[in-house]
Structure formats: C-alpha cells, structure tokens
Amino acid sequence: MKTTIDIPEKELRDVMKNTRAKTKREAVVTVIAEYNRRQRVEEVNRTMGKLDGFITLDELKKLREMD
C-alpha cells in the first residue's frame, strides 16, 4: 500500500541506525513488523495468564532439581 506520511527526520535516522535498515521503507516496515510482533506476544501473555493447568517457572525449576 502506498502512503505518504511526514516522519520527523531525526526519528527516522534513529530508526534506520537502530534497525540497520538501508532504506527508509525498510526501516518503517521493520518497525511496524516489530510493533505487531510485540502486540501478538502481549496478547499471548494475557491469554496464558487466564488459563489454568500451566506450570510456573518456579515449579519447573523445582521439578528439575528433583532429578
């Protein structure tokens, strides 16, 4: 999808530096993909917190110590 947006130059430079993107498009696509990935991870974390029957990290550590 083609879109025209006004992005502050310093912010875009920082994103390009931090993502090591070679183009502005690559930088923007990378940031959008990372944002979407984080949203999916947060959704999984919210959902997992509501489910019963999953072992906690502490419980797992205790089980491993028993072996």
Q: Count up the domains in the chain and report the number.
A: 1
Within a domain: 57: yes
pLDDT given at position 23:
97
45 within domain boundaries: yes
Q: Is residue 1 part of a domain?
A: no
pLDDT per residue as tens digits for the range 12-65 = 999 999 999 999 999 999 999 999 999 998 888 787 766 666 778 888 888 888
User: 54, 60 in Cβ contact below 8 A?
Assistant: no
Alpha carbon distance 19, 34 (integer Å)? 10
Separation between Cα atoms, residue 36 and residue 9, nearest integer Å: 23
Assigned domain for 2 exists: no
pTM of the model: 0.66
Position 57 scores a pLDDT of 86
Range of the domain at 25: 9-66
Say which amino acid occupies 20. R
